[in-house]
Structure 1
Amino acid sequence: MSTSTSGSWLSDERSEAAAERILDAAAELFVVRGVASTGMADVAKAAGCSRATLYRYFDNRRALHRAFVHREARRLGDRVAAAVAPITDPRERVTEAVLLAVRQVRSAPTLAAWFGLGDAGLASELASTSEVIEVVGTAFLADIWHADDVEVSRRARWSVRAIVSLLTVPGVDDADERAMVEQFLVPVLLPPP
């Protein structure tokens, strides 16, 4: 292996580690201060870097928010997909996937912070980005719809909207949320019989 190849590999690895450290620091601040109230200077200080360094990784606060949400969506999508993979009944699989995503967001302070008063609008806006939809929605819809990418994408967008809705305006209790998902969401997400 040449020195230049080795050097760029180390640089890429360090760059990724630095970005992760910044995102981890931001996550802690989101819980304590709220997402909308956390500024770039706060994140730089918490990450132990200068603002100039922070801006090398994230052009602005929106870019930081987007990177954080995309990272967490990938993690959430992986966990949900793994948990529902053994479920063979499509209705049950979709129901469990949606409810599991909601429970996991609520139980993780760094994710739940995005759905508090004043921050839910940011979450809603970022939830509509393609990567979040692709990761969360298609995690449990792709093999139900098989080859129709347009239908998977459309239904993935709808499932993410439903998840965000349940996070911002919860049902009365778990049973109420399950009933709403089974009655109003699952029939729309599944292919016609």
Structure 2
Amino acid sequence: MNRPWLREERTGLAAERILDAAGGVFAERGVEATEMSHIARAAGCSRATLYRYFESRQALQVAYMHRQTHRVVDDVARRLQHLTDPRERLVEAVQAALAAVRENPVLAPWFTGADSAHTAGLADASPVLQSLCAAFLGDPEDSDTQERARWLLRVILSLLSTPGRDPGDERQMVERFVVPVLLAPVGRTTRDDHGCAPPV
């Protein structure tokens, strides 16, 4: 039975409630195992109605991922308000993003088991996620910043899919191998004449 909120004049609200329902199904079944029929049933609408708002299963998955990522970014931004040092901000941003995803029972399953590779593929191809990373690093329209943003996104996805031994181990990796590259001046190599990375 169709619910009254699934009306054209309330498209935005309808899409949000569908995504709310989808989140529960993703957490229960896994991302790849969730079919549109499962989401339609949870949302209380027909599959035909569901396809009015999301043209495909992947489109719905991407929309859900984008919505949740915006929420994580907003949460991370609040945590970093008091930090001014660029190095400290970058390290804490990565740590906070990892924690926000891992502590969320709806998001965490996206990065476990068989779903982790699928999620990484969706995220890596997302201009929205890359743009969010670029905005954190500097001018999102700058090509160098965009390149760094793609790398930062891959680092975060990698740590979510294959965690370090503990948060301290991950922090050390970010401080030693990520910060020097992402915060290096444009055009400056991150290695000395002997091929070694500069000290952190």
How does the TM-score come out when normalised to structure 2? 0.84
Name the one with the larger helix percent.
Answer: 1
Residues 35 and 157 of structure 1: is their aligned pair in 2 closer, same or farther, counting only changes over 3 Å? same
Q: Once the 2 structures are TM-superposed, how far is the Cα of residue 148 of structure 1 from its aligned partner?
A: 6.7
CA distance in 2 between counterparts of 1:78 and 1:53 reads: 31
Higher relative contact order (CA 8 A, sep 6+): 1
- Indicate which of 107, 111, 129 corresponds to 2:107: 111
Structure 1, unpaired ranges of 5+:
1-9
Deviation at residue 133 of structure 1 after TM alignment: 1.5
Partners of 2:181 and 2:123 lie apart in 1 by 19
Provide the C-alpha distance between the structure 2 equivalents of 1:122 and 1:73, rounded to a whole number of angstroms. 16
* Partner secondary structure for residue 110 of structure 1: coil
The question of 1:77 aligning with 2:73 is answered yes
Question: Which stretch of structure 1 is more off in the superposition, 76-85 or 36-45?
Answer: 76-85
SS in structure 1 at match of 2:79 = helix
- Corresponding residue number in structure 2 for 1:133: 130
CA shift, 1:174, in A, is 1.0
- Structure 1 partner of 2:64: 68
2:20 to 15, 24, 30: 24
Specify the alignment match of 2:174 in structure 1. Answer: 181
User: Which letter maps to 1:16?
Assistant: G
Equivalent position amino acid for 1:171 in 2: G
Q: Give the conservation status (yes or no) of the 8 Å contact 2:134–2:140.
A: no
**Consecutive unaligned residues in structure 2, runs of 5 or more:** 1-6, 189-200
Q: 1:80, CA displacement in angstroms?
A: 1.4
RMSD: 1.7
